[in-house]
Structure 1
Amino acid sequence: MSGKTIRLILITSLLYSLCTASDALCENTRNTIEVYLLREVTVKDNTVRLGRVGIIRGEESLVARAGEIALGRISVPGQKMIIDRPTVLSRLASNGIPASKVTLTGAEKITIKQQQQIIKGGKFVELALLFLEKNPPADSVCQLNPIRIPADLVVPTASKDIKLSPRLAGSSAANQAGVRIAVLADGKQIGTREITFRLKYNYRRVVTLAELDAGTVISPENVRIEKSIENYPEPANWSPPYGLITKRRLGANTVIRPNMAGAVKPPILLNRNQTVVIRLERPGLLITAIGKTMQKARAGEYIKVRNVDSRRIIFAKVNEDGTVEPVF
């Protein structure tokens, strides 16, 4: 065999080996993927998939398959997830793509957060205020002041239909009103906020026009009615205190409080040691006796009376005619 023939055989064998190796390499390449991991990612949905946090290259069907692999789930609005390379390889392997067919590049760890919107605390206050203005807890309420601003609420942007639903909430204080606002996302409640308001009321008050001595009868000539704003509502049966008398001296421009005036008392009808008729009357029976009062009294009051004949002390009610009736 000539040298030329031998060289031709060697060249042919070498070319065949190179083609075989190339085919094997191509076959291996077709069964592998390269994943470039991003350092920080913001996603819309709460389910995190590999295709959202990395750039995947390789055979098209394998790339599509790997891109749909779930790496975890964001369960709380505002939550951050951190995924490292071992986690990525583990999730790939559990879905039939072994680590031997994966090349990871890029970041060692991925920080993932969800796109979100924030409902500010002030927005809740505005809604609660509007609700109370349409549904006032009392007709005389004139001011509504929030005691505190509620915390902001984080809502995932994946929620398309977000509604705020207010309703009255109970309050233990007479001059406060509460509103509870439910936050609904796609028909499901995802949070609540409660806002408490301190109430102010329209109030009428009575003010002296001049100095009034104790025992002065209150009338339109010596007082005026002013409108004011108070922390508590006026009594439901409020009326001007005309006809009442002052219990003590009041200076000019004094606001008359309920404890400063009272009803006019009837005059003293019986004085101490006064002789009175003790009268006991029943159907078909009338008994009378003479007695001595042991204290002064008005009509309708109860006093002690000493029977002049028996010297016994009895308890009796003073009648309008000045007689007294024993009480048994």
Structure 2
Amino acid sequence: MKRRTIILTIILSWAVAGPAAAVESGAGSGLRIHLPRRLTIENDVPTLGQVGVLLGEQRLLDQAEKVTLGRIAMPGQEITVSRAVILSRLAAAGLDASCVMFSGADSVRVSRPHRTVTGGDFVQFASAYLDSAPKAPGVRAFEPVAAPPDLVLAEPQSALTFTASAAKSPAANLAIVEIEVKQAAAVVDSRRVVFRARYNRRVVKATADIAAGEFITHDNVLVETVASDYPESADWVAPYGLAARRAIAAGSTVGLDILAPARPQAVIKRNQNVIIQIDRLGLLITATGRALQ
């Protein structure tokens, strides 16, 4: 009985200590790589030692951590390094891919520190400049046609200075503002923002149904000021006193193309001498007469 107890104790001791010893002995074999999802580095050529957390034999670590994984060509660019890319680069460096084990993300996005001035930022700077400058007569506001491209800078810590100025415009209803960007007192880039001018323009709206031949008055129309892409004519006047060529529905815009000057009405009194003219087929007959009514 005592002998069986000793044998059982030895077997149980091996069962507890055996796996732990196996893990410990295997901890130094192979190469383990843990990948984060996103990473920012200071240089433009990322290495495996920068991108991942490496564990394994020291000889493998010394060789693997120097393996390069591409190049960040410009500020703001982000490259994606996948597990397949890492295995390919390790194989090119002479390391056996079968001894590599991964954990963490399937790929890591790598970028450099940078600062981005968005197109919307440039629009705000240019709009503030136009708001502070005197507007041409009749100009109501300026609307940006489109936002310029973003500006990405490699040195995010340096202070930026923005200077706005008016640029030459190819059209009277367009305004162009140039934004110059300085970093550490040096001009690094510039952007142009194009605006479309919006003008105050008066339009006539029918407030009631207007019959053909009816005169335009304050009672049946209303003059409103609206925004327009083009300035108002300098000789614009309200069309009061003109007559409608056709029926105009309430709420419609009353333009000069559907109006005509009012015809003067002839006033003839009874027993007044008048001139009578008959014009038929090229024959004109003129005579004098007297109005009976």
Instruction: Please give the TM-score of this superposition, normalised by the length of structure 2.
Output: 0.47
Instruction: Please give the TM-score of this superposition, normalised by the length of structure 1.
Output: 0.43
Higher strand share: 1
